[in-house]
């Protein structure tokens, strides 16, 4: 109830109180028959005066209470209008005073919370400034490595090769030895620069991965063949029966294998055996491992193995031969493939470095397409949609439909075959866009006389997980029934 309404109520109450007291006084006179002692006129005047005095006193009290309530209301409205917290003026009357004290306590608590939030915000802004600065340093580092280090390195390696090849005259045996040493060191420097750059690009996410379903067995055979020609150890393979396709950037995984092989060969004795193996780890991943017969490592050494700039010394590799970055880079690459990498060893029993890669199963590819779409959607309206297509009677028509659908969708839309009769299209769009897209694709299929049904679901309204979106879209095939059929 507002104070203005209370004002009207106050006048009404005052009138009623006056009338009630006056009526009471007159009734008393009448009932108790006091007229003999007090004349009627005096009694009426006295009654009227008393009732007016009581009413006036009541009105004074009421108006003061209302005045304090008005100040309270005004302070609250001012806070609302200015969006700033104010201390409400103190009040005399006990109940109003309690309300004012409670409100002032609330204001103080909110102010204190706001202050803490402000302090946290300042801390966050400072942290962001530091982060931005670090990113700038990283950019500067990459730029320096790129141009200021690699360019002179080009000249050094070129010059060494020209001398070695006798392009500027014949060289003596001793000169040849020095040139060979220069060449070895230039190669080490080149490897260090490449690995530092790769690690920076991989860590910052600036190196894109081009992942696709690929044959890891073939890649491992190539790696083994390449290393077998240069290593003094015997390299054997141990693959389980035909391995399923994995989802990988084969060039990046080739780098991983090269680093893991280099590490194994460095720590293993000559003429020992290196085993390269692969097997299904579980239903969603395969495991690839490289086992050596070296002296192994302690648990302390293993704990540091995948950290950058760490050199692990063993009897066969006592010096700092590598850059100390290779296995750290491997970890980055494998983690960006949603895999894991680890090493196991016991001193004296060699070491196994093993990593997993996800199988290119339809469920994984669909989840990956949804994950990518969700990341892309973050730059827009935060929505992506799934359109499912199924060949109602003839699954063969779906393959034909895919060509038509690809022609009428955007380049960035992701197509995933979930089963021979179910094709999913994952597209970054909002609900209206998804509905328009589905209608357009239905028209396209109808014009091509393809008996293919479509159903769709949108993230996140219809479901937050890829599995839920799939379930909802599938259920709509049944809901839509014949309505979704293109005839």
Partner 1 sequence: MNRPCQKRILIGEDDQSILKMTTLRLEHEGYAVVTATNGEEVLHQVKEAPSVDLILIDIKMPRLNGYQVCQQLKSQPDTAGIPVIIFSASESQLQHLANRCIEVGASDWIKKPFRTKDLLEKIHRAFGEEGNGDV
- Answer whether 243's CB lies under 8 Å from 259's CB: no
* Closest approach of partner 1 to the CB of residue 83, in Å: 45
* Closest approach of partner 1 to the CB of residue 365, in Å: 22
* Closest approach of partner 1 to the CB of residue 186, in Å: 10
Distances (CA, A) of 392 to 388, 389, 421, 478, 481: 12, 9, 8, 12, 11
* Closest approach of partner 1 to the CB of residue 159, in Å: 6
Using left for φ > 0, alpha for ψ between -120 and 50, and beta otherwise, residue 291 falls in beta
Where on the chain is the footprint of partner 1 (CB under 8 A)?
142, 146-147, 150-155, 157-159, 161-162, 165, 167-168, 190, 197, 201, 206, 208
* Closest approach of partner 1 to the CB of residue 155, in Å: 4
Between 94 and 208, CB nearer to partner 1: 208
Between 179 and 386, CB nearer to partner 1: 179
In 252-324, the DSSP E strands lie at 273-280, 285-291
The span from the CA of 322 to the CA of 312, in Å, is 10
- Answer whether 414's CB lies under 8 Å from 425's CB: yes
Distances (CA, A) of 237 to 148, 209, 221, 288, 431: 42, 27, 8, 11, 51
* Closest approach of partner 1 to the CB of residue 158, in Å: 4
The span from the CA of 142 to the CA of 198, in Å, is 10
- Answer whether 425's CB lies under 8 Å from 389's CB: yes
Answer whether the bond into residue 460 is a cis peptide, omega within 30°: yes
Between 17 and 149, CB nearer to partner 1: 149
The span from the CA of 282 to the CA of 358, in Å, is 10
Between 194 and 214, CB nearer to partner 1: 194
Distance of CA 197 to the CA centre of its chain: 25
* Closest approach of partner 1 to the CB of residue 154, in Å: 3
The span from the CA of 395 to the CA of 103, in Å, is 70
The span from the CA of 424 to the CA of 404, in Å, is 14
* Closest approach of partner 1 to the CB of residue 179, in Å: 14
* Closest approach of partner 1 to the CB of residue 195, in Å: 13
Between 167 and 241, CB nearer to partner 1: 167
Helix (H) or strand (E) holding 423: strand 422-427
Q: What is the DSSP letter of 314?
A: B
Between 254 and 304, CB nearer to partner 1: 254
Between 17 and 209, CB nearer to partner 1: 209
Between 152 and 420, CB nearer to partner 1: 152
Between the two ends of the chain, the Cα-to-Cα distance in Å is: 64
Between 163 and 470, CB nearer to partner 1: 163
The span from the CA of 349 to the CA of 261, in Å, is 17
* Closest approach of partner 1 to the CB of residue 156, in Å: 8
Between 211 and 476, CB nearer to partner 1: 211
R_g (Cα) of the chain, nearest Å? 42
- Token pair listed for 13: 């109450």
């Amino acid at each position: 109830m507002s104070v203005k309404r209370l004002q009207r109520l106050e006048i009404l109450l005052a009138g009623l109180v006056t009338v009630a007291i006056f009526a009471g006084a007159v009734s008393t006179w009448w009932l108790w028959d006091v007229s003999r002692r007090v004349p009627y006129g005096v009694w009426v005047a006295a009654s009227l005066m008393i009732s007016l005095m009581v009413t006036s006193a009541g009105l004074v009290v009421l108006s003061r209470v209302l005045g304090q309530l008005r100040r309270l209301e005004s302070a609250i409205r001012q806070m609302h209008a200015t969006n700033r917290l104010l201390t409400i003026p103190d009040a005399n009357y006990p109940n109003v005073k309690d309300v004012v004290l409670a409100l002032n306590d609330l204001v103080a608590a909110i102010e204190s919370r706001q202050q803490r939030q402000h302090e946290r915000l300042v801390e966050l802004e400072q942290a962001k400034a530091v982060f931005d600065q670090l990113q700038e340093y990283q950019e500067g580092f990459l730029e320096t490595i790129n141009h200021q280090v690699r360019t002179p390195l080009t000249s050094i390696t070129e010059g060494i090769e020209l001398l070695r090849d006798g392009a500027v005259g014949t060289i003596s045996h001793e000169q040849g030895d020095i040139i060979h040493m220069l060449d070895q060191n230039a190669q080490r420097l080149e490897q260090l620069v490449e690995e530092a750059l790769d690690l920076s690009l991989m860590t910052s996410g600036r190196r894109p991965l081009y992942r696709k379903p690929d044959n890891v067995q073939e890649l491992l055979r190539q790696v083994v063949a390449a290393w077998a020609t240069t290593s003094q150890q015997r390299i054997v393979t141990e693959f389980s029966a035909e391995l399923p396709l994995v989802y990988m950037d084969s060039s990046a995984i080739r780098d991983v294998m090269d680093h893991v092989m280099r590490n194994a060969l460095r720590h293993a004795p000559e003429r020992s055996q290196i085993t390269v193996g692969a097997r299904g780890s579980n239903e969603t991943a395969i495991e690839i491992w490289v086992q050596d017969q070296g002296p192994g490592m302690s648990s302390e050494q293993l704990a540091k193995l995948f950290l950058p700039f760490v050199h692990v010394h063993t009897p066969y590799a006592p010096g700092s031969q590598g850059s100390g970055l290779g296995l750290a880079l491997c970890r980055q690459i494998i983690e960006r493939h949603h895999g894991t990498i680890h090493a196991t060893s016991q001193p004296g029993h060699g070491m196994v470095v093993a990593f997993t890669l996800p199988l290119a199963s339809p469920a994984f590819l669909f989840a990956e397409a949804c994950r990518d779409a969700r990341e892309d959607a973050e730059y827009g309206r935060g929505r992506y949609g799934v359109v499912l297509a199924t060949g109602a009677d003839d699954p063969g028509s779906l393959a034909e439909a895919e060509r038509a659908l690809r022609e009428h969708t955007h380049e960035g839309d992701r197509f995933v075959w979930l089963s021979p009769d179910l094709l999913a299209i994952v597209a970054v769009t909002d609900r209206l866009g998804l509905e328009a897209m589905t209608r357009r694709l239905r028209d396209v299929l109808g014009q091509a006389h393809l008996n293919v049904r479509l159903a769709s679901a949108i993230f996140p309204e219809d479901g937050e997980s890829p599995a839920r979106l799939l379930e909802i879209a599938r259920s709509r095939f049944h809901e839509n029934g014949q309505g979704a059929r293109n005839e």
